[in-house]
Structure 1
Amino acid sequence: MTLDYHDVVTADLSSFTDVAAAWKKMGERFGELKVDYEKHVQSVLGNGNWQGLAYGAQQHTAAATAFEYGAAKRQALAIASLLTDAQTELTRLQKAVKDLVEDAEKKDYKVDGSGKATYVGYDKLSAQERYTLQHDPDYPALLADAREKAQGWTDRIARAVEAVDTTDRSVKRALSRATSDGSTDGIGIGGFNTAAEGDLAKAGKPDPEPGKKDGWVSETDSEASGPGVGSEASGPNVGKGKLAEAEAHADLGRAKAEGTLTNGPLKLAGEAEAYAGAKASAAAGITHEGAQAEAGAFAGGEASAGGTADAGPVGVYARAETMAGAEAGVNAGAGLDGLNVGAEAFAGAKGGVGAGADVGGIGVGVTAEGWAGPGAEAVLNASKDANGVWHFGPKVGISPALGGAVGFEFTVDPGKVVDTVSDAAGAVGDAANWVGDGIGSLF
């Protein structure tokens, strides 16, 4: 229920003092019960004279009971603190409403039971004064000004009442959370709340927006297409160093989605992609940055998913891939962005996983694939991606009918390495200054 003006100005908040004192006394009493129970029940039965399954069951229950006494103390004291904070804040805000009304009345504005202000200064005039005023050419303007100022008082009072209602809702949330036990400690979920928070500012915060964790910022993007067919061919183009390239596809469908969650230095990222259809491509070129040639074909379906978790300079990653169909390819290249050479051919189904860790911009990982079908693959890669990250990794696999492939991968992110070194240097400098200040203070 939303509080209105009448609720606010007529509320009696004096009972908060007695109720908060009662909760505090209750919490202290629970603490005494915990000490008495541990001393006169739990420890007496645990003197070593009683053994066996029944003793173990009793001690387990006794430990849970003692825990709940302690949790009850924490919960009761937290509620006492919340009620004390609530009285202080609600009393302050209630007074702010009443002070506004008093100020308005001093300036000849009357506030009714709903909090609406009306100018009544003209009611104090004599009959002659009112007659003279009503025939004044500026009378309409004076009335308009009085109505505008009255509305201003009404709006200010409404905002002050809203502040009381907002705090009242905050108190409700805080008390509800203090009495809710979601822990499996003690007797389990539904007991007393050993984590009850007694600070109203912390415990009464609004719930996070739906679909968003408190303090986290999310970004998502997705796209989908298909079915469709197409082809493209070009070259040679001597000016751009392109000898020739061609591509053709017949897509049943493709889809991709990615998203991130960030909270300060913490970042979670994930992406998923799926494709079904057939495609083939070939390209070759020579430029001042290097030479590259590749050709490949695929028919079937494939899907992949991966994710990363970073906390400052430290991160981990994992991904999974699956494919059913036939593929073949060959590539070779060398240039400023690295070198790569490899060949593969496979028909059947395969699935693979990869995982690794990154510290300060240098990452190490391993990949493994299981194949059901004939095929072979050999790849050696040392290249830079669009984000400037260098990837190094060999991969080999063979499968007469059942088999697989294993590989290792190393990554180097120059930008992240520089940032890590810079942060470390800053930390060392701060530590040196701190030590220097400490030594100086000794003398």
Structure 2
Amino acid sequence: MPSTRRPAAEKTPALRPAERGDRARPLRVLVFSTLYPNAIHPHHGVFVENRLRALIDRGGFEAQVIAPVPWFPSTHPRWGAYADYAAVPRREVRHGIPVFHPRYPVLPKIGMTLAPLLMAGALWPGMERLLAEGPAPDVIDAHYAYPDGVAAAVLARRLNKPLVITARGTDISVIPQYRLPRRMIVWAAGQAAAMVAVCKALKDEMVAIGIAEGAITVLRNGVDLGVFQPLDRAQARRSLDLAEEGPLIASVGHLIERKGHHLVIEALAALIKGPLPTLRLVIAGEGPERDRLEDLAKDLGVAARVRFLGRVPHEGLSAVYSAADALVLASSREGWANVLLESMACGTPVVASNIWGTPEVVTTPAAGVLLKERSAEAIAQSVAGLLAAPPPRVATRAYAERFSWDETASGLAALFSRVSGRPVPVSGQPAVSPARVGS
């Protein structure tokens, strides 16, 4: 694919005759991403939904979402977890925003390079109907650089609409290790009117793979300060059926190797033998590593001190954070870890790997501690130190309040205004789009 950027004139969509002189109407945003919640997976990509909701709450915008899901033939149990995709509704409304879930083909193992083209080809008929049935979007807002961002670049080019692509983590830290996907990501960035990184560390890596630095804006994720707020610690523990007394740490995230739950369990075993003999651990999340983690806890003799909560609803995580004295995030890769701010917003400090965007989140003792290295020994030392002299919960909450979605929504509004050629919409009543999308 060519690597040159399109001329600026091609990126600014021409207004329809009915729209000329109607520059006071809300700016129309079409969100495009496989990272978006649905009725079957309500917490999948919730940070994308939260950013969009913050933009709409700001006023002056209307939105609709195309959130493709892989095609699977039925919900029959023989398909295992993949059967869930077949159960995702074709259309739904979430928080007043219309969301459409068209299907696209997936070729396991051999389809990584073809994924963006398969996705774009499957979705083009629905996008054509979108333009025909209107109203047309002013800007396309794509999330995750590959394959979503590449597919969105193909569609935006055909639609002659300005495109903004947000990179979020492994789409830049891992996928560009493969030559063809890296070339496609750089090509898509050249087609986009702007790129967004959720942290400066991610921006630096985007520049390193060949994306123009001047095209990248850093707009961090925020935290919903209404959903995540301090709860009474004893009451939160009772709600989770945990003993109210004694120190407690939490590890939250998908149960996969790179999240580092195994390191937290190993650190727990060391701490129980040392300075914190009554320490307990709760792990919130589900995933393929659960059996291995449970076996590890048994092998280390700490099974009675580890509680696996399974999948916890997003709004239910406040109780987990509030119950804990500290959150431990031992990930090997993170773009911008939302769990850190969620925990801080509940007044609970963190112990976190010193990777990617995390040092941009944990910048003060009120927030918590960065690990010197990603190891069980370093986790044990940091947890012991933090619990020996924890910051006041009110100070941790106050620090998190600096990361509301307001700043991000304002930056996004200005960016969308610039690339679409429309003035920044004034704050007013939020709106959603009634446009219909074929599936």
TM-score, structure 2 as length reference: 0.19
Structure with the larger strand share: 1
Instruction: Select the structure of larger CA radius of gyration.
Output: 1
Greater RCO between the two (CA within 8 Å, min separation 6)? 2
TM-score, structure 1 as length reference: 0.19
